A and B are shown apart, each in its own frame.
Chain A
Amino acid sequence: MSPAAGSRRLSKLLVALEKPTGGSIVYKGRDVATMTGRALKEYRREVQIIFQDPYSSLNPRMTVGDIVAEGWSVHSDIAPRKDRLKRTQDLLDRVGLNPDYVNRYPHQFSGGQRQRIGIARALALRPEIIVCDEPVSALDVSVQAQVVNLLEDLQDDFGLSYLFIAHDLSVVRHISDRVSVMYLGSIVEEGTDEQVYTTPSHPYTQALLSSVPLHEPHLRGQKDRILLQGDVPSPADPPSGCRFRTRCWKAQDICATEAPALVDRGQGHPAACHFAEARAVVPVDAE
């Protein structure tokens, strides 16, 4: 959720760009860290990533066509060489770009269009999962909605699963089926979008949701606003016990000694808090 929450590092672990120091990522029954050779190659094809920054994630010296087709030089069985131009143009068309732009360079595109190029590149390898790492946060509001809609359409068309990493709580609610809230490297609450947004049970989730500015004048001031004290501690030296306790208004002695497990304490979904309690903080828009 926040930059220090560890979600960014998570995306690199998921696409096997980094190795975990402990624990495992299990994909279709196999631990990714132990995969080698063909299995790892196949994993990297099936799990693709879209990055946040559409400016630094595209090679400025490559044409759009080469960027989209690059994965095929490793996974040559996906697209026979003679079909590649046609396939690339189909992909550009599918993500809403003019197929004739295949020989243009990234700098000739706007931020929203570059993000579409990144999406086409990910789609080219026929993935099963796409890790979307803040895919719309660098985009203007009017363009952001275009990309969100495109992602939703592609999910329906290709049966994709998304692991969507974002800090914008409104976008997360809009796009997600399930939500995990992270704080300082651990998941503090997990549930369906409905559970997390209407009955948040971890104090951090409650504070987070209560801080989101609302768009409706008639809802202004109706919010049960929770102002957190202090800053996120350094992930290099996290607090003992519960990592949120230094900013939590509910903290007791037990919070410093015992890290709370992520379990359901009667709220219908798991929260990692000794004193988890459902509390609605976002007013329901009746209009």
Chain B
Amino acid sequence: MTQSQLDPTPHPATAGATLLEVDDLHVEFQQRSGVVNAVNGVSYTLAERETLAILGESGSGKSVSAQAIMGILDTPPAVVRGAIRFQGEDLLRMSDEDQRQVRGPGISMIFQDALSSLNPVYSVGWQIGEMFRVHQGASRKEAKAKAIELMDRVRIPAAAKRVDDYPHQFSGGMRQRVMIAMAIALDPRILIADEPTTALDVTVQAQVMDLLKDLQRETGMGLILITHDLGVVNEVADRVAVMYAGRIVERGTVDDVFTDAGHPYTEGLMNSVPQVEAKGGRLQPIVGQPPNLAAIPSGCPFHPRCARRRLGADAAPGRDCATDVPPLRLVVPGREAACHYSEEVLGV
């Protein structure tokens, strides 16, 4: 399958070769209560030097799909189907050891909660150096020197002095920098950042996002940014994929999607957040709750909450929101949406 079929939205002009192709990814969890369908047929591509934001609320499948790429889901209970091609090779068809050889230096990930992602009983220098000891067979001394170098690169002040400190001796922002140092240690081609700044103060958040963008400029890595924060997406990403109930419901360049949403869910999200630029009038929330992934609504999974839904006699033939699943389709050039009536949402 070619890139344009998987992900036809325009990549930024600066983007390079395709690094990652996620093709019809499904992730389900077998639980006593039934099957939880966390990811339901997600496809996208990521190129060198580009930043793709995956925007969604809790339970949208945005983190689980990233964990599937990283191979850090326990299988079972998780069942992963589809294809995840990194530089052309399908990770899901490889042996565990081969996957490790590819992912280790190729794809890395940082998480929201840096404190619980770091081991409290080892110094940060030891944990950063582990990358070099395990993957490159470096000696302890070499590994420590490289750890100091990396801590400098992620702008931790007095790195040589702090290399032997433990995670609890660092602030939240500095811990996230330690995580980033570990993640970029082997010069990965792809960095997946799962809510990297959610737990941080807004001033520190800006510093960390700046650091990630600078590192991307230096190394040309592709960045997948998983977040629920519309502002972070607008300021950092080139393209955005909006997820709901385990599917991508809208995709396009950030400029296009944020200027004029093409899916009622995206539109609802934009209307429900207050903005710092103005006091604004009454918020317009999306009614109801995000769906239970063990019982995703029939048809369009968003239809029970959608103000624009058309049911029964109101619907066009084959486009009843309660029974017909809307595919993710190109609505206008460069923009896809999984809504039967996206043209009306966009006003085209």
Contacts and interface: CB of A to CB of B under 8 A. Distances in A.
Interface in A212-261: 212-220, 225, 227-228, 230-232
Interface in B226-241: 228-232, 234-236
Interface stretch (A79-87, A146-154, A263-271): A146-154
B202 A208 contact: yes
A215 B231 contact: yes
A44 interface: no
A112 interface: yes
Interface residues of B, number: 48
Contact of B276 (A113, A173, A232): A173
B201 A142 contact: no
Contacts, number: 137
B234 A220 contact: yes
Interface stretch (B24-32, B280-288, B316-324): B280-288
A141 interface: yes
B77 interface: no
A32 B231 CA distance: 41
A143 B277 contact: no
B274 A142 contact: no
A194 B277 CA distance: 11
Given A112-B289, A142-B290, A170 B274 contact: yes
Nearest to A234: B171
A219 B277 contact: yes
B258 A148 contact: no
Nearest to B286: A142
A107 to B, nearest CB: 13
A285 B275 contact: yes
B208 to A, nearest CB: 11
A141 B243 CA distance: 13
Contact of B273 (A1, A170, A282): A170
Interface residue range, chain A? 35 or more
A89 interface: no
A17 interface: no
Nearest to B201: A2
A215 B290 contact: no
Contacts of B278: 173, 284-285
B272 A197 contact: no
A141 B272 contact: yes
B207 A227 contact: yes
A126 to B, nearest CB: 25
A140 interface: yes
Nearest to B228: A141
Interface string A127-149: 00000000000001111111011
A219 B234 CA distance: 10
A159 interface: no
A167 B279 CA distance: 16
Nearest to A113: B289
A143 B234 CA distance: 21
Contacts of B283: 145, 148-149, 174
B231 A142 contact: no
A163 B254 CA distance: 36
Contacts of B232: 213
Contacts of A228: 203, 207
Given A173-B279, A215-B231, A142 B270 contact: no
A170 B171 contact: no
B205 A211 contact: yes
Contact of A169 (B58, B235, B276): B276
Nearest to B197: A213
A283 B174 contact: no
A140 B58 contact: yes
A174 B269 contact: no
Interface of A: 1-3, 110, 112-113, 140-146, 148-149, 152, 167, 169-171, 173-175, 193-194, 197, 207-209, 211-220, 225, 227-228, 230-232, 282-285
11 contacts: A113-B289, A142-B268, A145-B286, A213-B231, A215-B231, A216-B275, A217-B254, A227-B206, A232-B201, A284-B277, A285-B277
The 10 closest A-B pairs by CB, nearest first: A213-B231, A145-B285, A174-B274, A145-B272, A211-B206, A142-B286, A145-B283, A140-B57, A285-B277, A231-B171
Interface of B: 57-58, 157, 171-174, 201-207, 209-210, 228-232, 234-236, 254-255, 258-259, 268-270, 272-280, 282-287, 289-290
